[in-house]
Amino acid sequence: MADLNTINLNRLITFVAVVEAGSLTAAAERLGLAKSMVSKHMQLLEAEIGVGLLLRSTRKLSLTEAGRTFYEASRQLLQSAEQAVEQARTGRDTPQGTLRVAAPIDYGVQVVAPLLSQLRGRYPALKVELICGDDLIDLIAEGIDVTVRLGKLADSGHLATRVGKLERWLVASPAFIERHGMPADPEALQTLPFIAMSILRQSGVFTLENKDGKLREVRMQNVVFTTNTAPVCRAAALAGDGVLRATVFSVQEDVEAGRLVRLLPAWSLAVGDIHAVFPATQHVPQKVRVFIDALKLAAGG
């Protein structure tokens, strides 16, 4: 059995940061240390455990086979230590440390960012890092505490809790409607220019339902603008480029202000869910719990 007295366990924090940040420079910035100090920590750690962990080159940094195994064990050890501290603090109304949150760009900007600022006001010892993107993110690889996901969840080994419902509307600008006319039914909608979100599978294929329960499958036949982020889709709709199937939270203010018009209001799109997803753990950190509770209030869940 290894003699832990000969190993500086604080260097595990630096090692995990190097792996997750992808370079000594990025890890140094994350930890607030000099790059030379991070490099020294890695050299001493390898000397202490007697194996090489990192493969260094001028272009990139990668792990040895032993390094990959040691990283997984180190990450779990640090996570367990953090959970132990959080568990010991149960009952204290003071979440601490850095809360790393991931969210889609539009939801992150409009809902999550203001929410995190409010939490910072309530818990001054809490720091936050918000990563926004419309592609799925690997929670473990990126060191994310909790991510917000819209719509159907992919299978994973993570835990998830529903925080609200996800509604969508069909919208277009007044100028677009003036040029193309207001569609009277789902069939007329299909031939209009359409703005598509490229990261969604078949974003131009969806089902509408009226108050009588009648269903109509819609296949948009004229995709004129495709992009990979929701804010760009909204910008294209505001510019009059086409019909957009948009989340209500992202366009409701535009509709209320008359910048966009809801199409076929007698027909509705299927309602989905908004989830908070976080790594499976025996004890959910307090900083994650307070964020999820606040998100439920904000999202109406």
Instruction: For each of the domains in the chain, give its residue range(s) and CATH number, in order of start.
Output: 4-88 (1.10.10.10), 97-165+273-299 (3.40.190.10), 168-270 (3.40.190.290)
Check pLDDT > 50 for residue 183. Answer: yes
Tell me the percentage of the chain whose pLDDT exceeds 70.
Answer: 92
CA distance 30 to 186: 51
- Mean pLDDT over 208-223 rounds to 95
Tell me the percentage of the chain whose pLDDT exceeds 90.
Answer: 66
CA distance 29 to 260: 43
Check pLDDT > 90 for residue 251. Answer: yes
* 24-62: pLDDT as tens digits: 999 999 999 999 999 999 999 999 889 999 987 766 788
More confident site: 33 or 140: 33
Which structure tokens are listed for 202? 């078949």
Which structure tokens are listed for 50? 């007697």
Check pLDDT > 60 for residue 92. Answer: no
More confident site: 68 or 94: 68
pTM given for the model? 0.65
CA distance 49 to 249: 52
More confident site: 135 or 69: 69
Judging by beta carbons within 10 Å of its beta carbon (0-12, 13-18, 19+), is residue 7 exposed, middle or buried? Answer: middle
- Given pLDDT bands bounded at 50, 70 and 90, which one contains residue 116? very high
Share the mean pLDDT of the chain.
89
